């Protein structure tokens, strides 16, 4: 079905392209001209030029010029551009038109706010809009890269450069202990999975992002908006002659930084100097980091066709991305297709929007990224760092060199011999119908359905030196998500009073099912995992299957009141009912209220000409959360609890795996926000300042239970409260506006702090009240339950909990501070938990800076982003920086000089400064003049570099790691970061 969908889209687009080739121009004349800003004289690209009352039109080229074939009877030209007033000009006998547009619509820009739109100047919440012209440039493989660093408080990071890993996205920090991304909405349809949704849309198909940052804006999404909302609007067709667009890039990536491990000669010298055995020396000189990596090539192609009339417009697009990973045998291929059709009928009272999109992803995965194993692929890098440089990659007979060692394995052999692939098919279709029943009253409905199918293949051969058995598996998931709503909207104006009322009923259903089949001991390894029946060994957990589902029903309403464009009020209310909670707590109510005062509209501001717009906002809202607790968290569940021997055979054991909790209820976030929006100096300086204070109560969390009397030791309960406070500042400036040269820049800065205020509750008479709980841990040789972060009342979630390192004694033993009643009384080599201190790793602030220059046909842009005050626990270095690991394991160069004579223990010595400034992108482009090439309206070429440099003191590979959950700010063998160089083109026919 998925392949048929792709073929259908391809056939449809082919027909459109053929129709373009068959079009002939009517008899007439050719007109031309240029369009510029009436104040600065800047030439304006992308202005729509239409012959009034017809479908004939074009858009201005990057240099502001246009050329258009028109009929002799054409009488009027209409010029329109976002942020500017429309202008009509009589054609007459003229053939050249030099047109100026007045910048008068900046505040009339439409913002998507959920289940509707508002004028930007009427928005009362913290909403940020990023349009096409503001996107980051360069190599954009993931749509999120377009807005990375653009929005204050929106953190988008990707530890390493694995093409198959997802970006971590957090808005105003993590409002829950599990850490969740914002809700993703694409063309009005809320996605059931953030990463699957973002993977389904091509960067070139996106028109704009609207980010709802506070609870008053997100409350309209109720339970799904607790972590904020990102709304993506894709491109639509425009009335006029059909347009064909093509864009592409090709890039080369290479590893930007490596760990400084001992070379073979350095290992030999170190072993000799320390008087250790060199029996492991096989005479080789191998750099294992180089052996498993390569220069990776990626390329992307996007083709779209669009057009239509006043009654029907369309846009169809295809995107192909091939992205190799810098680690050998990793990479992905992504093919996406999308059709958007908008139709009007019945004197424009009926509007129908159709949307169909599909994507096919093929992934070559790291050996250790199996879904059921829940591994992140770090094993291969741990092997790479530890395998000795004196070992060869292959033996003299061509076979792979392997140790007889239960811990270590040849990393090159593991990459090349393990077969690990995944195929994902995603298809989504939606139809939205709106009918204007009367003036200002619209009724409508939306139906959307998506289906995802994933098939994962894995085969691991037998390694004789390990005395293991070969293993093969297949894993399949099938996920279906359905959304249906009925909505109504009423708009009325009474003199200076404007009211906008929206009401919605919404139904969401999610069904997920899958299975895993695995087996061991294959006699014919060449079959990989294609015949699992040819095995000699199946263990109890090798076969598994499941099916689960959840249902969310919602009633919501919004009232927007505007008096004289000066006094603005918004009320939202949403009531959600979820199948994840018991009948006594199934429904949650999530209201919000916001008011705004446009100070610039007052009479006393008329003489303050420097201020174009000044608006003060204040709002309060509540949202709910039900994520990361499974589909049946309140119910009693049974499952596999282990295995036992039965007459010499291993059999599964079954028992209670989850206790029922009928008192489980919604996690609720309450948010208070004060904001100020301003536009100064003829709108050349614009900015926003927001200060917020969030309180999350009844946090959903898995708590420990005593055994006995309980049959299991964990339960999901509401047993924590937390606060989250911060400030966000955004500035945008048009610094220079001249005929041939422009310079604009934007800066955003954000700072936030969170704190756990309560860890208490009850469950069936058991007191869950605690003051602290161990959270994240360090791993490695000799480390067992080595917790390094904690949840504790009065501290940030996941605060580091470490001994203070004071140095080494004469024998190389580690010395730690000895505390009594919080005061230092000396040092100790055997510290206790009472000697630990708390250290917050959260950055003091994050920031992003973008600067764009244009000179005639040239454009130059760069994008910087960074954090200040962050700290990272270097778990990777903890395991590599001690000579005690020699001679059997490799170590870093620093291990020879840091003085450790014993296995290092977790302490604040390994907590390192992770502040950084990154040149994320540098792009230089050239725009050819309009019609410089016959048949081409616009043509741009560019060269770019991503991750050009990083300024940091962090000693690891890269200072970006996971920022939430129990692995937050812990560096643990991540995929290496890359630096890329690319060349690209954008063509409009």
At 324-342, the pLDDT tens digits run 999 999 999 999 999 999 9
Instruction: For 601-611, write each residue's pLDDT tens digit.
Output: 999 998 898 99
pLDDT computed for residue 19 by the predictor:
40
HSE-up of residue 983 (Cα within 13 Å, Cβ side) = 0
Instruction: For 795-842, write each residue's pLDDT tens digit.
Output: 999 899 999 999 999 888 999 999 998 899 999 999 999 999 999 999
- Cβ partners under 8 Å of residue 4, min gap 6: none
CA nearest neighbour of 571 among 500, 628, 645: 500
Is the preceding peptide bond at 708 cis, omega within 30 degrees of 0?
Answer: yes
195 φ/ψ angles, rounded to the nearest 5 degrees: -70, -40
Examine the pLDDT at 26 and tell me if it is beyond 50: no
HSE-up of residue 11 (Cα within 13 Å, Cβ side) = 6
571 or 628, higher pLDDT: 571
Cα–Cα distance between 421 and 473 in angstroms, integer?
Answer: 11
- Cβ partners under 8 Å of residue 807, min gap 6: 815
Calculate the alpha carbon distances from 460 to 162, 379, 665 in Å.
Answer: 21, 14, 44
Examine the pLDDT at 211 and tell me if it is beyond 90: yes
Once rounded to an integer, what is the mean pLDDT over residues 176-199? 88
The long-range contacts involving 118-124, CB below 8 angstroms and separated by at least 24 positions, are 118/500, 118/560, 121/565, 121/598, 121/613, 121/615, 122/560, 122/562, 122/565, 122/568, 123/217, 123/596, 124/216, 124/560, 124/568, 124/569, 124/570, 124/594, 124/595, 124/596, 124/617, 124/619
pLDDT computed for residue 184 by the predictor:
95
Residues paired with 180 in a beta bridge: none
pLDDT computed for residue 108 by the predictor:
61
Q: Could you tell me which CATH number the domain at 2-104 has?
A: 2.60.40.1120
Examine the pLDDT at 375 and tell me if it is beyond 70: no
Once rounded to an integer, what is the mean pLDDT over residues 842-846? 94
Examine the pLDDT at 648 and tell me if it is beyond 80: no
Please provide the size of the chain in residues: 989
pLDDT computed for residue 25 by the predictor:
36
Examine the pLDDT at 9 and tell me if it is beyond 50: no
346 φ/ψ angles, rounded to the nearest 5 degrees: 55, 55
User: What are the structural domain ranges in the chain?
Assistant: 2-104, 244-770+844-870+914-988
Examine the pLDDT at 372 and tell me if it is beyond 70: no
Q: What is the dihedral sign for C-alpha 54, 55, 61, 67?
A: negative
pLDDT computed for residue 163 by the predictor:
93
Superfamily of structural domain 244-770+844-870+914-988: TonB-dependent receptor, beta-barrel domain (2.40.170.20)
pTM for the full predicted model: 0.87
Q: Are strands 350-364 and 419-438 parallel, antiparallel or unpaired?
A: antiparallel
- Cβ partners under 8 Å of residue 568, min gap 6: 122, 124, 560, 561, 562, 595, 596, 597, 598
Instruction: For 487-546, write each residue's pLDDT tens digit.
Output: 999 999 999 999 999 999 999 999 999 999 988 888 777 778 888 877 778 877 788 888
Q: Are 155 and 866 in contact (CB under 8 A)?
A: no
Query: Mean of the per-residue pLDDT values for the chain?
Result: 88
Instruction: For 767-783, write each residue's pLDDT tens digit.
Output: 777 888 888 889 888 78
Q: Are 744 and 783 in contact (CB under 8 A)?
A: no
Once rounded to an integer, what is the mean pLDDT over residues 57-79? 84
At 389, list the tokens.
Answer: 């440089």
pLDDT computed for residue 24 by the predictor:
36
Cα–Cα distance between 436 and 531 in angstroms, integer?
Answer: 59
CA 549 to chain centre: 25
Task: Say whether 244-770+844-870+914-988 and 2-104 share the same fold.
Answer: no
- Residue with tokens 């990272």, as numbered in its chain: 872
DSSP 393: S
CA nearest neighbour of 565 among 609, 607, 605, 599: 599
Once rounded to an integer, what is the mean pLDDT over residues 752-763? 88
């Amino acid at each position: 079905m998925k392949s048929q969908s792709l073929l259908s889209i391809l056939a449809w687009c082919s027909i459109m392209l053929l129709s373009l080739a068959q079009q002939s121009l009517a008899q007439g004349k050719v007109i031309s001209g240029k369009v510029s800003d009436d104040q600065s004289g800047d030439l304006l690209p992308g202005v729509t030029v239409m012959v009034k009352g017809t479908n004939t039109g074009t858009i201005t080229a990057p240099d502001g010029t246009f050329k258009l074939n028109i009929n002799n009877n054409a009488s009027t030209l209409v010029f329109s551009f976002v942020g500017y007033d429309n202008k009509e000009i009589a054609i007459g006998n003229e053939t050249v038109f030099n047109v100026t547009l007045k910048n008068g619509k900046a505040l009339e820009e439409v913002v998507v706010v959920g289940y509707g739109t508002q004028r930007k100047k009427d928005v009362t919440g913290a909403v940020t809009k990023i349009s096409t012209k503001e996107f980051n440039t360069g190599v954009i493989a993931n749509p999120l890269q377009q807005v990375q660093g653009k929005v204050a408080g929106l953190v988008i990071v990707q530890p390493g450069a694995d093409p198959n890993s997802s970006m971590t996205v957090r808005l105003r920090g993590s409002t829950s202990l599990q850490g969740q991304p914002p809700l993703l909405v694409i063309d009005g349809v809320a996605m059931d999975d953030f990463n699957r949704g973002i993977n389904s849309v091509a960067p070139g198909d996106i028109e704009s992002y609207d980010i709802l940052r506070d609870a008053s804006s997100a409350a309209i999404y109720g339970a799904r908006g607790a972590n904020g909302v990102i709304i993506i609007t894709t491109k639509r067709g425009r009335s006029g002659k059909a347009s064909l667009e093509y864009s592409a890039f090709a890039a080369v990536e290479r590893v930007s930084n490596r760990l400084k491990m001992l070379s073979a000669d350095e290992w030999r010298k170190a072993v000799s100097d320390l008087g250790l055995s060199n029996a492991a020396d096989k005479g080789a000189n191998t750099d294992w980091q180089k052996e498993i990596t390569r220069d990776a090539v990626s390329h992307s192609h996007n083709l779209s066709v669009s057009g239509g009339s006043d009654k029907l417009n369309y846009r169809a697009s295809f995107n192909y991305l091939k992205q190799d990973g810098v680690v050998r045998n990793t990479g992905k291929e992504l093919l996406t297709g999308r059709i958007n059709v908008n139709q009007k009928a019945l004197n424009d009272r009926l509007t129908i929007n159709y949307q169909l999109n599909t994507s096919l992803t093929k992934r070559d995965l790291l050996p250790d990224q199996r879904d059921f194993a829940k591994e992140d692929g770090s094993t291969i890098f741990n092997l790479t760092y530890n395998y000795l440089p004196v070992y060869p990659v292959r033996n003299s007979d061509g076979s792979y060199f392997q140790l007889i060692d239960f811990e270590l394995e040849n990393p090159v052999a593991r990459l090349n011999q393990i077969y690990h692939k995944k195929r994902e098919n995603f298809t989504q279709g939606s139809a939205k119908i709106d009918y204007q029943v009367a003036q200002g009253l619209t009724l409508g409905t939306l139906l959307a359905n998506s289906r995802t199918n994933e098939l994962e293949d894995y085969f691991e051969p037998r390694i004789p030196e390990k005395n293991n058995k070969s293993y093969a598996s297949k894993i399949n998931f099938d996920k279906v998500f359905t959304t249906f709503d009925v909505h109504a909207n009423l708009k009325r104006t009474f003199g200076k009073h404007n009211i906008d009322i929206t009401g919605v009923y919404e139904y969401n259903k999610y069904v997920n099912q899958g299975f895993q089949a695995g087996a061991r001991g294959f006699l014919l390894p060449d079959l990989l995992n294609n015949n699992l029946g040819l095995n000699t060994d199946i263990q109890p957990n090798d076969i598994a299957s499941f099916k689960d589902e959840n249902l969310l029903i919602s009633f919501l309403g919004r009232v927007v009141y505007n008096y004289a464009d000066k006094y603005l009020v918004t009320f939202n209310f949403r009531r959600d009912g979820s199948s994840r909670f018991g009948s006594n707590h199934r429904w949650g109510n999530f209201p919000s209220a916001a008011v705004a005062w446009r100070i610039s509209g007052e009479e006393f501001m008329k003489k303050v000409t420097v201020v174009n717009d000044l608006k003060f906002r204040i709002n309060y809202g509540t949202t709910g959360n039900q994520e990361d607790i499974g589909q049946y968290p309140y119910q009693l569940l049974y499952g596999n609890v282990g295995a036992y021997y039965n007459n010499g055979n291993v059999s599964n054991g079954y028992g209670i795996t989850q206790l029922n909790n009928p008192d489980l209820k919604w996690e609720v976030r309450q948010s208070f926000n004060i904001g100020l929006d301003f536009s100064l100096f003829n709108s050349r300086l614009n900015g926003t300042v927001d200060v917020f204070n969030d309180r999350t109560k009844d946090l959903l969390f898995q708590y420990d239970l005593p055994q006995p009397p309980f049959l299991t030791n964990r339960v999901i309960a509401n047993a924590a409260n937390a606060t989250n406070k911060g400030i966000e500042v955004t500035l945008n400036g048009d610094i220079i506006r001249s005929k041939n040269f422009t310079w604009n820049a934007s800066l955003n800065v954000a700072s936030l702090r969170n704190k756990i205020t309560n860890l208490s509750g009850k469950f069936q008479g058991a007191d869950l009240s605690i003051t602290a709980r161990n959270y994240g841990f360090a791993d490695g040789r000799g480390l067992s339950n080595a917790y390094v972060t904690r949840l504790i009342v009065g501290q940030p979630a996941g605060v580091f909990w470490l001994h203070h390192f004071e140095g080494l004694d004469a024998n190389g033993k580690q010395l730690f501070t000895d505390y009594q009643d919080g005061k230092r009384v000396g040092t100790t080599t055997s510290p206790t938990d009472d000697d630990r201190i708390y250290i917050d790793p959260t950055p003091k602030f994050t920031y992003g800076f973008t600067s764009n220059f244009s000179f005639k046909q040239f454009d130059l842009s760069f994008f910087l982003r960074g954090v200040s005050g962050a700290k990272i626990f270097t778990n990777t270095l903890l395991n590599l920086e001690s000579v005690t690991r020699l001679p059997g394991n490799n170590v870093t160069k620093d291990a020879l000089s840091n003085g450790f004579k014993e296995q290092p223990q977790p302490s604040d010595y390994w907590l390192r400064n992770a502040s950084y400034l990154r040149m994320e992108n540098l792009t230089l482009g050239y725009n050819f003049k309009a019609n410089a090439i016959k048949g081409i309206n616009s043509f741009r070429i560019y060269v770019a570099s991503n991750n050009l440099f990083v300024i940091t003191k962090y000693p690891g590979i890269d200072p970006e790691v996971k920022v939430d959950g129990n692995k937050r700010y812990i560096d643990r063998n991540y995929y290496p970061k890359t630096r890329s160089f690319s060349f690209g083109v954008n063509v409009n026919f």
